[in-house]
A and B are shown apart, each in its own frame.
Chain A
Amino acid sequence: AQSVTQLDSQVPVFEEAPVELRCNYSSSVSVYLFWYVQYPNQGLQLLLKYLSGSTLVKGINGFEAEFNKSQTSFHLRKPSVHISDTAEYFCAVSESVTGGGNKLTFGTGTQLKVEL
């Protein structure tokens, strides 16, 4: 079974500082990896995804992530955060299910709090 570990439950950071949110996965097969963002009492929005190809993936709102197969990691980074980036961030891995669908397994989430 696949699993995802997000090492930090909370990450405080000052505005305009860089940030890295860590994610490690466990899978015995090729993976698809994702980062989602959730603002309070809302659904999830896809930030970026790694399906194949270049290991550096760029997403929305200036975020990027690097897929590292040898370290089984998919860390999320932003060079300069803004107050509006305050939210919860989820790393997820996808596996195919019989019949053509996909099942997402999520990490426990990292609360990013940007302070002035």
Chain B
Amino acid sequence: DGGITQSPKYLFRKEGQNVTLSCEQNLNHDAMYWYRQDPGQGLRLIYYSQIVNDFQKGDIAEGYSVSREKKESFPLTVTSAQKNPTAFYLCASSIRRTGTYNEQFFGPGTRLTVL
């Protein structure tokens, strides 16, 4: 089955620790995205990548880092610099065509809780 997997589903972290969230897709999509979801705030874009070895900051990149070494993988690291990391994190991917819309497909999400 083609799709996007995120692991783990639930993640607990002690304050001051870095943690990495996994996102893998087998849809052969070029573009991948990370969103953060907080109650009452909708989804906000953290980082996105349109091609291997390239990525851009979204609206709330501070305290996060990403890498894109492989087409199918786009891990997100939540660093200790992120002041309020407890949230639901969603990964998405899409094909990449210029001049038109490219539908984003979402993974099941990872809920991160900082203790």
A-side residues, CB < 8 A to B, are: 4, 6, 9, 32, 36, 41-46, 49, 51, 90, 94, 96-97, 99-109
Q: Is the CB of A101 within 8 A of B50?
A: yes
Q: Which residues of B contact A109 (CB under 8 A)?
A: 40, 42
Contacts of B107 in A (CB 8 A): 43
* Distance between A92 CB and nearest chain B CB, rounded to angstroms: 8
B13-21, B72-80, B96-104: which lies at the interface: B96-104
Cβ distance B75 to chain A, nearest Cβ, rounded Å = 17
30 pairs of residues in contact across A and B, judged by CB atoms under 8 Å: A6-B42, A9-B40, A41-B88, A41-B109, A42-B108, A43-B4, A44-B90, A49-B103, A51-B101, A90-B42, A90-B43, A94-B101, A97-B56, A99-B51, A99-B96, A99-B98, A100-B31, A100-B96, A100-B102, A101-B31, A101-B48, A101-B102, A102-B94, A103-B45, A104-B45, A106-B35, A106-B42, A107-B42, A109-B40, A109-B42
Given contacts A103-B45, A108-B42, A42 and B109 within 8 Å (CB-CB): yes
**Total contacting residues, chain B, CB less than 8 A:** 35
Bound: A41/B90 CA distance, A: 11
Contact A100-B103, Cβ < 8 Å, known A9-B40, A43-B90, A90-B43: no
**B38 → A minimal CB distance (Å):** 10
Please tell me if B34 contacts chain A, counting CB pairs below 8 Å.
Answer: no
**In the complex, B58 has a CB within 8 A of chain A:** yes
* CB-based nearest A residue for B103: A46
Chain A positions within 8 Å of B111 at CB level: 41
Known: A41-B109, A49-B103, A90-B42. A100 touches B50 (CB 8 A): yes
With A41-B109, A43-B107, A49-B103 known as contacts, the answer to whether A101 contacts B96 (CB < 8 A) is: yes
